[in-house]
Amino acid sequence: MNACPARGAAGRSPGFTLMEMLVTLVLISFATMLMFQMLGSYRIASERVRGQAGHIDRQALFQSWFRDSVHGLYAAPNLHFIGDAAHFSATTLNPLYAPEGSPIAIAWSLRENAQGAAEIVYSEDGRERWQLPLQGGGEVEFTYFDANWRASDAWPPKLGKINPEALPAVVGLVRRYKDGDRPLLVAVLGPLEPPRRLYGEEELQ
């Protein structure tokens, strides 16, 4: 007689048992939860990096614009540079919005914003163009230096004989902290005195 083939484990239909399916679902759920946590952390980190990069870019842009406008300050009869610790107005040949080389009235001002933080404001041709919060705390003010590096909190200085049409040699934006001052100093590159006209001829100071 021929023996019948044995039936047993080899005869089971292929597939997952209920326990194996439950374990698989638990593992998939756990992996999905970890993935969403990692994506959330990445999103938060990415937003913070973008925010810091944007702030750094704006700070660098502000410093570049401040330097350009002060480098181009223009001395001419009846064009007065007037400044104090919180504001100065002048005429520059390097405006930010008008064509370069055009004498344009500008102003830089310091004030508190709605949150009580210091911010710097740029105005051109009588219009406020933009403002930027100054991060880092500390007191901030403008300072002015003559050609002999004498500092003053106002221009023209309250003491000393200075032509009211003359420009300071250096304009500084100074951040004052307990551990010391951190100044941003910018030199005026053009003549500091307006030209005088003698007998129809110009004599440069």
Determine the average pLDDT of the residues in 185-189: 96
Average pLDDT over residues 148-167: 88
Chain segment 167-184, per-residue pLDDT in tens: 999 999 999 888 888 999
Which long-range contacts (C-beta less than 8 Å, at least 24 apart) are formed by 161-164? 163/193, 164/80
Q: What is the DSSP letter of 116?
A: S
Position 164 pLDDT exceeds 50: yes
Give ∠ CA 132-136-137 in degrees, rounded to 5.
95
Distance (Å, rounded) from C-alpha 141 to C-alpha 134? Answer: 12
Q: Report strand pairing: 180-187 vs 196-198.
A: unpaired
Q: Given pLDDT bands bounded at 50, 70 and 90, which one contains residue 124? A: very high
Span 107-133, average pLDDT: 90
Percentage of the chain with pLDDT > 70?
Answer: 79
pLDDT value of residue 55: 54
For residue 137, what pLDDT band results from cuts at 50, 70 and 90? confident
User: What backbone phi and psi angles, to 5 degrees, belong to 142?
Assistant: -90, 145
Measure the CA–CA gap between 158 and 162, rounded to whole angstroms. 9
- Claim: this prediction has a pTM higher than 0.75: no
Name the residue ranges covered by the structural domains of the chain.
59-197
